[in-house]
A = this chain, B = another copy of it.
Amino acid sequence: MSLLSKGKKIVAVARNFAAHARELNNPVPVKPVFFLKPTSSYIFQGSSIQVPSTCKALHHEVELGVIIGKRCRDIKKSEVFEHIGGYVLALDMTARDIQDRAKAAKLPWAVAKGYDTFCPVSSFLTKTQIPNPHDIELWLKVDGLLKQKGNTNLMLNDIPTLISVISSIFTLEEGDCVLTGTPEGVGAVKEGQTITAGITGLCEMRFPVVARAPPHKEILAKL
């Protein structure tokens, strides 16, 4: 059983890169903003990202995911690195139109962020492979065209801050994943396109985007 498959939650950080917060006309937050994605949204290379029939603007967000190695509750920043088990490259796929409607109605983000296939991840990366997670370059292309490229040294709140703060709210358990935010350049992808993303010099992954069949008619009225 891999470390990731033991995990029970994905805690994601919104607006952790100033240029990305600004590109969506959001305020740059002083305090980190957290949301949850369900682990049922994970997919691995070989699977496709599915666009829900109710989503007209599926956005890509390339992010570094930190995989927890040991239970964390109320840990200090100085204790964070010893609790990290490793890393993944991740896509925080977002139904931007559904999220925008949720925000306008002051409703939760869970659906907009949580559909099945909305968290594609790379294979596991060890701490030896990423000796300094605050100095790696993340990139993402759609059909070979570069859309996102940014260094993790631009994070507003660094990994020790994020994980110590999260551990004061939710206990983090072995295999849980913390998504650390996306650099600027997010945008829409459509069925038929292919996303490639990587960490420069370290890994690369590839996910085709396909349409998801609409749900049963009896369900449609409730979506």
With A and B bound together, what is the CA distance between A170 and B161 in angstroms?
30
Contact of A77 with B170 in the complex, beta carbons under 8 Å:
no
Contact of B170 with A38 in the complex, beta carbons under 8 Å:
yes
With A and B bound together, what is the CA distance between A22 and B40 in angstroms?
33
State how many angstroms separate the Cβ of A95 from the closest Cβ of chain B. 10
Q: What secondary structure prevails in chain A residues at the interface with B? A: loop
Q: Tell me whether A222 and B114 are in contact in the complex, defined as CB-CB below 8 angstroms, given that A8-B8, A215-B74, A216-B74 are known contacts.
A: no
A1 at the interface (CB under 8 A from B): no
- Listed residue (A36, A161, A215) with the most chain B CB atoms within 10 angstroms of its CB: A36
A111 at the interface (CB under 8 A from B): yes
Report which A residues bind B (CB closer than 8 A): 8-9, 11, 14, 31-41, 52, 73-74, 76-77, 103-104, 106-111, 114-116, 157, 161, 164-165, 168-173, 215-216, 218-219, 221-223
